């Protein structure tokens, strides 16, 4: 596979993964009583509703990026602290759900699709769909601003401590991006991504069992 094809696949996967993440936030907020994101057109899988050009380019070429923030109004939630936390949680959860569905399709193709160039590229797309969505979910669970994990942390931290931390959001983001680009987070992220991959693989293990059963049944019939 050429380098151009590799980046094309990354871009196509980003066109799906990022809107799912952001629409997940918007859907959760709307279900919890805040229609702000829905009114702004963010309850959509249209990539152009969510993309920040620089953030998307960084996602494709550097492996880490960002989208336009989803607007929320905490006053619309019955419980603002939990409303913000659950809305933040919905983005990574949407990525995990998408990764699971991609792994199901990937395994089905692996066992039953005819082998040709088209299915090879489609299988690679699905495999990378799992990888990028797992990476997005894991990275966003890091409990530092401005990542989703920091909003989830709001439930556990005293309000004064949380908003004191949020005052330094811009500086923390710069430090976080620098740590990523310097490779300081590579090892912990590697193990966390693998752990989530293993969970997804176990959760789709029924496909493996069906494939093996079909294979051994056919082999037994031939014998």
- Give the start-end residues of each E strand in 73-153: none
Q: Is 193 exposed, middle or buried (0-12, 13-18, 19+ CB in 10 A)?
A: middle
> Encoding tokens for residue 20?
């799912």
Q: Is 102 exposed, middle or buried (0-12, 13-18, 19+ CB in 10 A)?
A: buried
CA distances from 69 to 148, 167, 203 (A): 11, 17, 31
Is 22 noted as a catalytic residue in this protein? yes
> Encoding tokens for residue 95?
């990525």
Query: Using an 8 Å Cβ cutoff, are 193 and 134 in contact?
Result: yes
Residues in CB range of 68: below 8 A, 6 or more apart: 22, 50, 51, 52
Among the listed residues 22, 98, 103, 139, the single catalytic one is 22
Which residues are catalytically annotated?
A: 22
């Amino acid at each position: 596979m050429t380098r151009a094809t590799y980046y094309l696949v990354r871009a196509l996967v980003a066109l799906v993964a990022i809107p799912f993440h952001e629409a997940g936030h918007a859907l959760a907020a709307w279900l919890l009583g805040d229609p702000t994101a829905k009114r702004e057109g963010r309850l959509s899988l249209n990539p152009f509703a969510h993309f920040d050009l620089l953030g998307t380019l960084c996602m494709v070429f550097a492996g880490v990026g960002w989208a336009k923030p989803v607007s929320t109004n905490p006053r619309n939630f019955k419980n603002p602290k939990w409303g913000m936390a659950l809305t933040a949680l919905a983005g990574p959860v949407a990525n995990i759900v998408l990764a699971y569905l991609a792994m199901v399709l990937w395994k089905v193709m692996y066992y039953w699709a005819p082998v040709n160039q088209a299915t090879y590229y489609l299988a690679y797309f699905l495999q990378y769909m799992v990888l990028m969505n797992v990476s997005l979910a894991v990275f966003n669970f890091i409990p530092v601003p401005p990542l989703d994990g920091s909003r989830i942390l709001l439930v556990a931290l005293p309000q004064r401590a949380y908003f004191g931390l949020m005052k330094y959001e811009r500086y923390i983001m710069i430090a976080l991006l620098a740590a990523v680009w310097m490779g300081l987070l590579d090892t912990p992220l590697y193990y966390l991504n693998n752990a989530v991959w293993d969970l997804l693989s176990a959760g789709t293990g029924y496909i493996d069992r069906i494939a093996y059963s079909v294979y051994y049944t056919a082999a037994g019939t031939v014998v």
